[in-house]
Amino acid sequence: MVGISLEEALDLLEQASRIDIKVEKLLLHAANGRILAKDYYAPISNPPFDRSPLDGYAFKAEDSSGASMDRPVTLKVKGVVYAGEYYEAEVNNQEAVRIMTGAPIPKGCDCVLRQEDTDEGEVEVQIYKALKPFDNYCFKGEDIKEGHLLLKAGEKLSPVKLGILASMGFQEVEVRQPLRMGLLCTGDELTPIGEDLKLGKIYNANEVMIQTKAMELGIQIQVLKMQQDTPEAVAKCLEEHWDEIDLMVTTGGVSVGKKDIMHDVINLLGAKRLFWRIAIQPGTPVLAACYKEKLLIGLSGNPFAALANFELIIRPVVAYLTQDEMLKPIHTTGIMENEFKKKSIKRRFIRAYFEDGKVKLNHNNHASGALYTMSLCNALIDIPAGSTGLDIGEEVKVILVDTRG
Amino acid sequence: MVGISLEEALDLLEQASRIDIKVEKLLLHAANGRILAKDYYAPISNPPFDRSPLDGYAFKAEDSSGASMDRPVTLKVKGVVYAGEYYEAEVNNQEAVRIMTGAPIPKGCDCVLRQEDTDEGEVEVQIYKALKPFDNYCFKGEDIKEGHLLLKAGEKLSPVKLGILASMGFQEVEVRQPLRMGLLCTGDELTPIGEDLKLGKIYNANEVMIQTKAMELGIQIQVLKMQQDTPEAVAKCLEEHWDEIDLMVTTGGVSVGKKDIMHDVINLLGAKRLFWRIAIQPGTPVLAACYKEKLLIGLSGNPFAALANFELIIRPVVAYLTQDEMLKPIHTTGIMENEFKKKSIKRRFIRAYFEDGKVKLNHNNHASGALYTMSLCNALIDIPAGSTGLDIGEEVKVILVDTRG
């Protein structure tokens, strides 16, 4: 068998890299999706005071004893308190305060009656319902208690978590900086998009695909351009940008051909080779090295192979480096709706469409160089080495690669 | 029952709005997640020529007849072709061309043998294996045929789809502009984050929560600030920004209290009221109007109510306005792992944690004003009006609101 296992490859990559992700302070609205760099405790309670959950009247519950539509109780309306205000005076028996949703419950009151159960009087109010103490009473700290651990270092910020920080008055938040990834697509055959295509050349589909995949993972990506497709030019380009990145990804130049220059690039850099070739198909000839404690991962240049390599190798490596569990590939199982009659000598990943536990092969082009059929798919089927084929109704392992449809 | 049904409310909103989303041209890497504005057809085939899928030798299959390790066939190596190059001359019988992965297959050749099955000779090569015509032969247009419909207007762009456009040489893509949403949080009690909190006041948690939720949906959001919490100031602020937005969302001021100013704001604007109050809890007092063919949707000011309103009302409205199916709320069902003993007079939405078909109530604070427990949840349980409570093992309707964990 050519190559190490995918799991061994991931172990080697995780062991080799020693990056140091810095911390930065961001305004809350700019921090969504970022990883918290420290624990956050509640500096205040929320709500910060006992408050009314509705529009009505606050009073002492004992004063409403026996009140009903037929036998209303009359209370003197001592004042009014709106949300955002504070009612200073103490409320005594036989007194009520008109109160709006969110306003602090005045001292002496222990309940709030909704205005629909009163005559909405402004000098005196008729109470049509008896309440118990703390009916319609929202306690200070009911949502969050002062001193409570709100959010932990390592958590990923979401709109709700940012709302929680805002409710505590935090204006900024300390988060980890995004992972910085460099991307360089190699290959003499590649023509930049927008230019005329000469005979024998193809357009560079990998660059924008990996660039936008990386952006979706919250990576700060830098797309590199080199002058010439030679080992010297590539090594020089990588070296020049090495301090600006945490992880370098290349495509192409990793196979056994005469222009598979990445082997020489590693030597020119003086990088330590970690492995070459993983026992998977497509994308076998992955080449990995470590240089100045950062990873250089060379992916296959075939578009589908590069995409599968990204999902199977780059994604878990990024999840590990950023300690962002949510970036890990999503593994599940599904039942085959079609058959796949090919034998697999190596462990093979084929593209498929997964929905409601069912796995469909909705196309018949599994070639490494073919990208179009991947746009119809959202999953990779993980076929073990030595498989003689997949049958209808068979349970298979699946990795979801696009859960948005 | 107070209020119309959620479904009626959504129908009224959909019927009222007549926005016109413009089209713009973006570079591919900036267009991920955008909606295509036109159909795209393939201007070329991909691959653009018959090519080799591996490193080896191209020749006529008939010449390898009977070849084996023991009885190799010898061919004359006529030349070499690398990826990105083109081999001009016609290849005749008894001849081979050294060929690298991705290089065009020379005229006269109909197969490629991998170099591991040869002696890798440079002047003459020993062929150790017999091939059939078109073995290891990758046809022009195998991935994409010229003229083929690649992507349809209305499709959402993904990294793979951008890769497909790149492989065709497209540098830019015509997409719909993002929906422009204005957001104004009203309420005298609101204190901007970062300022000191006075007695009776609370911090504004809704603003950053809705702002970042909207950003996640690809909305271009503009956060508005007004000078004073009066109907006149709010109406003036909305009017000033009305031409810059496609949809206006406010929070607060929609209930029955004396400072529930949004009713007056609608009158001052001269907007047409569509409805007030939806028969759901939390977030009953949603107020909706139409002004200059654009929607004004006033949400409840309580943070959890505002969040539920966003998921139940704003999200489907945005999906409708943008014609982006993927933004629709995800409805599913699950089995209760806990009981919920409250009666529900209205249709009620409570927060819960959904995983693998199971629904957990992992907290006991369902208050509309409480936000913290929502950070532990990823779903809303949809409890029908008249429910006497939920039992363990009962199947319930669920809406997923945060599928990222």
Give per-residue pLDDT as tens, B314-371: 999 999 999 888 899 999 999 999 999 999 999 999 999 999 899 999 887 888 778 8
Q: How far A253 CA sits from the closest chain B CA (Å)?
A: 10
The answer to whether the CB atoms of A86 and B259 lie below 8 A apart is: no
Residue A134 within any structural domain of the chain: no
Torsion angles phi and psi, residue A351, rounded to 5? -80, 145
Q: How far A390 CA sits from the closest chain B CA (Å)?
A: 23
**What is the chain A residue with the closest CA to B365?**
A143
Annotate B303-355 with DSSP letters as a single string: HHHHHHHIIIIIHHHHHHHHT-GGGS-EEEEEEESS-B---BSSEEEEEEEEE
Residue B183 within any structural domain of the chain: yes
Q: Are A224 and A241 in contact (CB under 8 A)?
A: yes
What is the percent of chain B with per-residue pLDDT over 70, rounded to a whole number?
Answer: 99
CA distance A328 to A315: 6
CB contacts of A44 in chain B (<8 Å) are 197
Average pLDDT over residues B93-119: 95
The answer to whether the CB atoms of B205 and A166 lie below 8 A apart is: yes
Report whether pLDDT(A81) > 50. yes
CB contacts of A36 in chain B (<8 Å) are none
Residue in A259, A372, A405 nearest the CB of B82: A259
> The tokens of B307 are what?
């969040």
Residue A137 within any structural domain of the chain: no
> The tokens of B359 are what?
């629904």
CB contacts of A137 in chain B (<8 Å) are none
Residue B215 within any structural domain of the chain: yes
- Test the A interface: residue of B86, B136, B148, B189 with most A CBs within 10 Å: B189
Q: What is the DSSP letter of A233?
A: H
Residue in B169, B170, B370 nearest the CB of A143: B370
What is the pLDDT at residue A366?
A: 80
CA distance B322 to B245: 13
Residue in B86, B161, B202 nearest the CB of A47: B202
The answer to whether the CB atoms of B166 and A208 lie below 8 A apart is: yes
Residue A294 within any structural domain of the chain: yes
Q: What is the CATH number of the domain that holds A61?
A: 2.170.190.11
- Test the B interface: residue of A173, A209, A211 with most B CBs within 10 Å: A209
Q: At what angle do helices A206-216 and B159-167 cross, to 10 degrees?
A: 160
CB contacts of B171 in chain A (<8 Å) are 193-194
pLDDT-based confidence at residue B228 (cuts at 50, 70, 90)? confident
What is the pLDDT at residue B112?
A: 97
> The tokens of A181 are what?
């990834």
Report whether pLDDT(B234) > 70. yes
CA distance A216 to A19: 21
**Among candidate residues A327, A351, A386, the one where a domain is terminated:** A327
pLDDT tens-digit map of A259-274: 789 999 999 999 999 9
B42 & B171 share domain: yes
Taken in order A202, A208, A211, A216, the sign of the CA dihedral is negative
**What is the chain A residue with the closest CA to B102?**
A189
A167 & A183 share domain: no
- From residue B252, give the alpha-carbon distance in Å to each of B63, B173, B289: 82, 40, 15
B258 & B299 share domain: yes
CA distance A134 to A114: 13
CA distance A251 to A255: 11
Torsion angles phi and psi, residue B372, rounded to 5? -55, -45
Of B315 and B19, more confident? B315
Peptide bond into B285 cis (omega under 30): no
Q: How far A294 CA sits from the closest chain B CA (Å)?
A: 26
What is the pLDDT at residue B253?
A: 87
Q: Which of B8-12, B228-232, B362-366 has the lowest mean pLDDT?
A: B362-366
Q: Are B126 and B73 in contact (CB under 8 A)?
A: yes
Mean pLDDT for all residues in chain A: 94
**What is the chain A residue with the closest CA to B45?**
A202
**What is the chain B residue with the closest CA to A166?**
B205
The boundaries of the domain holding residue A161 are 29-43+147-176
A229 & A294 share domain: yes
The answer to whether the CB atoms of B193 and A28 lie below 8 A apart is: yes
Q: How far B51 CA sits from the closest chain A CA (Å)?
A: 9
Average pLDDT over residues A281-296: 95
Contacts of range B130-134, beta carbons closer than 8 Å, 24 or more positions apart? B130/B61, B130/B64, B130/B65, B130/B66, B130/B67, B130/B68, B131/B61, B131/B64, B132/B61, B133/B61, B133/B62, B134/B61, B134/B110
Q: What is the CATH number of the domain that holds A35?
A: 3.90.105.10
pLDDT tens-digit map of A140-196: 999 999 999 999 999 999 999 999 999 999 999 999 999 999 999 999 899 999 899
CB contacts of A357 in chain B (<8 Å) are none
What is the pLDDT at residue B22?
A: 93
> The tokens of B121 are what?
């000779």
Q: Are B100 and B82 in contact (CB under 8 A)?
A: yes
CA distance B397 to B335: 9
Q: State the ipTM, two decimals.
A: 0.91
Torsion angles phi and psi, residue B2, rounded to 5? -85, 125
Residue whose C-alpha is closest to residue B33's, from B169, B211, B178: B178
Q: How far A274 CA sits from the closest chain B CA (Å)?
A: 24
How many beta-carbon contacts under 8 Å exist across A and B?
293
CA distance B307 to B105: 59
Residue B372, helix vs strand vs coil: helix
What is the pLDDT at residue A357?
A: 93
CB contacts of A154 in chain B (<8 Å) are none
**What is the chain A residue with the closest CA to B370?**
A143
**What is the chain B residue with the closest CA to A369?**
B143
A230 & A299 share domain: yes
Q: How far B310 CA sits from the closest chain A CA (Å)?
A: 12
**Among candidate residues B327, B343, B377, the one where a domain is terminated:** B327
CB contacts of B199 in chain A (<8 Å) are 49, 86, 104
- Test the B interface: residue of A137, A160, A170, A229 with most B CBs within 10 Å: A160
Angle at A100 between CA A95 and CA A104, to 5 degrees: 75
pLDDT tens-digit map of B374-404: 999 999 999 999 999 999 999 999 999 875 4
Average pLDDT over residues B102-111: 96
pLDDT-based confidence at residue A299 (cuts at 50, 70, 90)? very high
Average pLDDT over residues B95-113: 95
> The tokens of B398 are what?
């669920």
Report whether pLDDT(A403) > 60. no
CB contacts of A29 in chain B (<8 Å) are 208, 211-212, 215, 223
CB contacts of B302 in chain A (<8 Å) are 101
Q: What is the CATH number of the domain that holds B345?
A: 2.40.340.10
Which run of H or E residues covers position B56?
Answer: strand B56-59
Torsion angles phi and psi, residue B117, rounded to 5? -100, 25
The answer to whether the CB atoms of B55 and A372 lie below 8 A apart is: no
Which one-letter amino acid corresponds to residue A329?
Answer: P
> The tokens of A321 are what?
């480096």
B255 & B161 share domain: no
Residue A300 within any structural domain of the chain: yes
> The tokens of A401 are what?
């690669």
Number of domains in chain B: 4
B95 & B116 share domain: yes
The answer to whether the CB atoms of A159 and B193 lie below 8 A apart is: no
What is the pLDDT at residue B314?
A: 97
**What is the chain B residue with the closest CA to A190?**
B84
B315 & B227 share domain: yes
Residue in B202, B257, B365 nearest the CB of A100: B257
Q: What is the CATH number of the domain that holds A279?
A: 3.40.980.10
pLDDT-based confidence at residue A2 (cuts at 50, 70, 90)? confident
Residues near B94 by beta carbon (within 8 Å), at least 6 away in sequence? B63, B75, B76
B189 & B288 share domain: yes
Report whether pLDDT(B405) > 80. no
Q: How far A250 CA sits from the closest chain B CA (Å)?
A: 16
Which run of H or E residues covers position B37?
Answer: none
The answer to whether the CB atoms of A405 and B205 lie below 8 A apart is: no
Residue A304, helix vs strand vs coil: helix
Residue in B138, B165, B369 nearest the CB of A367: B138
- Test the B interface: residue of A167, A216, A328 with most B CBs within 10 Å: A167
**Among candidate residues B269, B303, B327, the one where a domain is terminated:** B327
The answer to whether the CB atoms of B104 and A197 lie below 8 A apart is: no
Peptide bond into A282 cis (omega under 30): yes
Report whether pLDDT(A256) > 80. no
Report whether pLDDT(B236) > 60. yes
What is the pLDDT at residue B1?
A: 60
Residues near A240 by beta carbon (within 8 Å), at least 6 away in sequence? none
A203 & A315 share domain: yes
The answer to whether the CB atoms of B259 and A405 lie below 8 A apart is: no
CA distance A125 to A57: 9
Annotate B224-270 with DSSP letters as a single string: ---SSSSHHHHHHHHHHHGGG-SEEEEES--SSSTT-THHHHHHHHT
Residues near A187 by beta carbon (within 8 Å), at least 6 away in sequence? A229, A251, A252, A253, A301, B83, B84, B102
Annotate A350-381 with DSSP letters as a single string: EEEEEETTEEE---S---TT--GGGGG--EEE
CA distance A355 to A334: 9
B84: left (phi over 0), alpha (psi -120 to 50) or beta: left
B236 & B297 share domain: yes
Residue A1 within any structural domain of the chain: no
Q: Are B349 and B308 in contact (CB under 8 A)?
A: yes
The answer to whether the CB atoms of A163 and B82 lie below 8 A apart is: no
CB contacts of A404 in chain B (<8 Å) are 156, 158, 326
CA distance A130 to A67: 5
CA distance A118 to A131: 12
Residue A136 within any structural domain of the chain: no
B155 & B12 share domain: no
